[in-house]
Amino acid sequence: MPLDPQLRQLALATKGFMPPDEGDALFEAALAAGAAVHGAPWVEVGSYCGRSTIWLGAAARTAGTHLFAVDHHRGSEENQAGWEHHDTEVVDAGVGKMDTLPFFRRAIHDAGLEDAVIGVVGASPSVARHWTTPIGFLFIDGGHGDEPARLDYEGWAHLVAPGGTLAIHDVFPDPADGGRPPYEQIYLPAMASGRFDEMSVTGSLRVLRRR
């Protein structure tokens, strides 16, 4: 079941870094997770302006659950001024810092997904520290430095329910293809834990199933 073409077009028009084929694979994996684990909430760590959130929010609505989209909306290290992925359009001139929250809220509104997506504004480790509900689908696409990636894994992965799904973005086993932290700090620990089996690979997207 593919994403509605209009929603897909809106997702692709939203600022972000999710390639079309990986977004489609994320949507399909989320739908499968919804069928495997009924009723459990979903969590997205790192929403930026809402590009991937549209794919996930649409899947959450179909699955009859809610997606909690966690992001402090000040941008990751690689989004800051002087880095490759910096975008001056998302800088709040009044405070001199990035603020992607208005872009995120507009994207979710325009997609008609405000009933399915709950934005959680805060640092991932802080939110995870107080989260206790088992998660049916977890998508980690937060900060790509060593420490942020490690903290995302340590804070959230153990909360995935048995039969649930952990999806990880920007996994590059070959250093020539991209940054290493999501691979070294999230993917490898997850596979070494003995709790997850790899279900699919699409570009840099890895989908793992909790045993």
CATH of the domain at 20: 3.40.50.150
Q: Identify the sign of the CA torsion 140, 142, 145, 150.
A: negative
144 belongs to the catalytic site: yes
pLDDT at 87: 77
Q: What is the domain range of residue 143?
A: 5-210
Total tally of structural domains belonging to the chain: 1
Task: Please write the tens of the pLDDT for every residue from 78-115.
Answer: 777 766 667 788 898 899 888 999 999 999 999 999 99
Exactly one of 72, 73, 144, 169 is catalytic; which is it? 144
DSSP per-residue string spanning 137-201:
EEEE----SHHHHHHHHHHHGGGEEEEEEEEESS--SSTTTS-SHIIIIIIHHHHHTTSEEEEEE
Cα separation of the two ends of the chain: 25
Q: How many CB atoms lie within 10 A of CB 134?
A: 16
Contact predicate 105/54, CB 8 Å:
no
Task: Please write the tens of the pLDDT for every residue from 130-184.
Answer: 999 999 999 999 999 999 999 999 999 999 999 999 999 999 999 999 889 999 9
Task: Please write the tens of the pLDDT for every residue from 185-209.
Answer: 999 999 999 999 999 999 999 999 9
pLDDT at 78: 74
Confidence of residue 76 (pLDDT cuts 50, 70, 90): confident
